[in-house]
Amino acid sequence: MDNSFRQTLGCIQLLGMVALLVLAAALGGTFRTEVKLPPSAAAVSAERSFTETLTVRHWLGGLVQGDPLDLRELAAKHSRQGDRMTQVSIVTKHTATDLLVTLLTLGIYTPETVTIEGRLGRPEAVAAQ
């Protein structure tokens, strides 16, 4: 093989690997968990939604977890007295920024973006008071 053919083949292999990494980062890093919580046997009124996006910190490639999320604290931030969480959806993903920071720190610091969507409702018995 001549030298220019080897260089061209090397460039094609490198571009293929980069494309594969970009595709894996875009498709493989999003996880969704959805939970519906019954507030009580009574019907729910005055239901409203909230969305919160947070960054969770991990260390050493995700082997060491930083501060965990506290869903009770988050729900208390968005609720009024008598409200109950009726539905929560937690989406975790590594965004492009998260991946860039992980690469720049050589995996020592590994951030993860978490989006929490919830619905708060008030049982009818509490809403009538």
Classify residue 17: in a domain, yes or no. Answer: no
pLDDT class of 21 with cuts at 50, 70, 90 = low
Classify residue 111: in a domain, yes or no. Answer: yes
Q: How far is CA 10 from CA 17, 85, 102, in A?
A: 11, 55, 27
Distance CA 114, CA 112 (A): 6
3: helix, coil or strand? helix
What's the pLDDT tens digit per position in 93-107?
888 888 888 889 888
Kindly tell me the sign of the dihedral angle through the C-alpha atoms of 73, 77, 80, 84: negative
Classify residue 115: in a domain, yes or no. Answer: yes
Mean pLDDT of the chain: 76
Predicted TM-score of the model (pTM): 0.62
Lowest mean pLDDT among 28-42, 86-100, 114-128: 28-42
Q: Give yes or no for a contact between 56 and 112, defined as CB atoms under 8 angstroms apart.
A: yes
Exposure pattern of 58-81 as b/e (b: 16+ CB <10 Å)? beeeeeeeeeeeeeeebbeebbee
| Domain tally, the chain | 1
What's the pLDDT tens digit per position in 72-84?
788 788 877 777 7
Three-state SS annotation for 18-84? HHHHHHHHHHCCEEEEEEECCCCCCCEEEEEEEEEEEEEEEECCCCEECCCCCHHHHHHHHCCCCCE
pLDDT class of 127 with cuts at 50, 70, 90 = very low
What's the pLDDT tens digit per position in 49-70?
888 898 989 888 778 888 888 8
| The residue to which tokens 């220019």 are assigned | 4
Residue 78: domain span: 30-127
